[in-house]
C-alpha cells in the first residue's frame, strides 16, 4: 500500500514541475482612449532556463497588433514600434506597462468597453506562442500591481 502511494506521488511530481516550466502571463488588462486604438498590459513570467523573446502579437480585435514602447527624446515622451522583440530573462519576468513596453492594438474592430475581453496571441519565437485574454479596464491607474517590473 505504501509503495503504491509513493508511486502515485512520484508520478505527480513531473506534472507539478511542468506547470511552472515555460511561460506564464499574469495581470493582463486592456484599455482604450479612443474607438480605434487600444493597448494591452501584462506581466510575462519566464520559468525556463533560457531567455525568451516576445517577437510579436496578434488579435482578431484589431487590424494590427504591434509591440510598442515609450522613450524620452529631447525631453518629450514618444511612442515607437519595438524592432527585434522584448527579452524576458531566464527565470525572470518582464512587465508590459503603461509608459513602457506594451502591445498596441490599431484599427479596433469595435470600441473597447469596460468588462469586455480582448483575446490575443503572443509570439515568443523559439519559445512558442501563448494565448492571452485581457479584460478591458479603462479606469485602471497606471501602476496598479504592475510596478516597474522589467525596467
The reported pLDDT for the residue numbered 20 is 55
The reported pLDDT for the residue numbered 19 is 44
> Residue 97 phi/psi, 5° resolution?
-125, 160
Q: What is the reported pTM?
A: 0.81
**DSSP letter assigned to residue 151:** -
Cβ count within 10 A of residue 17: 10
N- to C-terminal Cα distance for the chain? 52
Cβ count within 10 A of residue 61: 22
Domain spanning 22-136, CATH architecture: Sandwich (2.60)
From residue 147, how far is each of 34, 36, 100, 137, 140 by CA, in Å? Answer: 25, 27, 11, 17, 13
Question: Please, what is the Cα angle at 63 between 110 and 68, to 5 degrees?
Answer: 105
CA distance 130 to 23: 8
Cα dihedral 3, 4, 10, 14, rounded to 10, equals 160
The reported pLDDT for the residue numbered 143 is 66
The reported pLDDT for the residue numbered 1 is 52
Cα dihedral 74, 78, 80, 86, rounded to 10, equals 90
H helix intervals, 20-79: none
Per-position pLDDT tens, the chain of length 151: 555 444 444 454 444 334 456 999 999 999 998 999 999 999 999 999 999 999 999 999 999 999 999 888 888 889 999 999 999 999 999 999 999 999 999 999 999 999 999 999 999 999 999 999 999 999 998 765 544 444 3
> Residue 115 phi/psi, 5° resolution?
90, -20
The C-alpha cell that represents 30 in the structure block = 486592456
The reported pLDDT for the residue numbered 147 is 43
Amino acid at each position: 500500500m505504501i509503495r503504491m502511494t509513493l508511486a502515485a506521488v512520484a508520478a505527480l511530481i513531473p506534472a507539478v514541475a511542468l506547470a511552472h516550466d515555460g511561460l506564464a502571463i499574469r495581470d493582463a488588462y486592456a484599455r482604450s482612449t479612443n474607438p480605434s486604438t487600444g493597448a494591452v498590459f501584462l506581466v510575462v513570467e519566464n520559468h525556463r532556463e533560457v531567455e525568451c523573446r516576445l517577437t510579436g502579437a496578434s488579435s482578431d480585435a484589431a487590424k494590427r497588433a504591434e509591440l510598442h514602447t515609450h522613450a524620452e527624446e529631447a525631453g518629450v515622451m514618444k511612442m515607437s514600434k519595438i524592432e527585434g522583440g522584448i527579452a524576458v530573462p531566464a527565470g525572470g519576468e518582464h512587465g508590459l506597462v503603461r509608459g513602457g513596453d506594451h502591445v498596441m492594438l490599431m484599427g479596433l474592430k469595435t470600441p473597447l468597453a469596460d468588462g469586455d475581453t480582448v483575446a490575443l496571441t503572443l509570439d515568443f519565437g523559439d519559445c512558442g506562442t501563448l494565448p492571452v485574454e485581457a479584460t478591458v479596464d479603462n479606469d485602471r491607474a497606471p501602476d496598479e500591481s504592475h510596478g516597474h517590473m522589467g525596467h
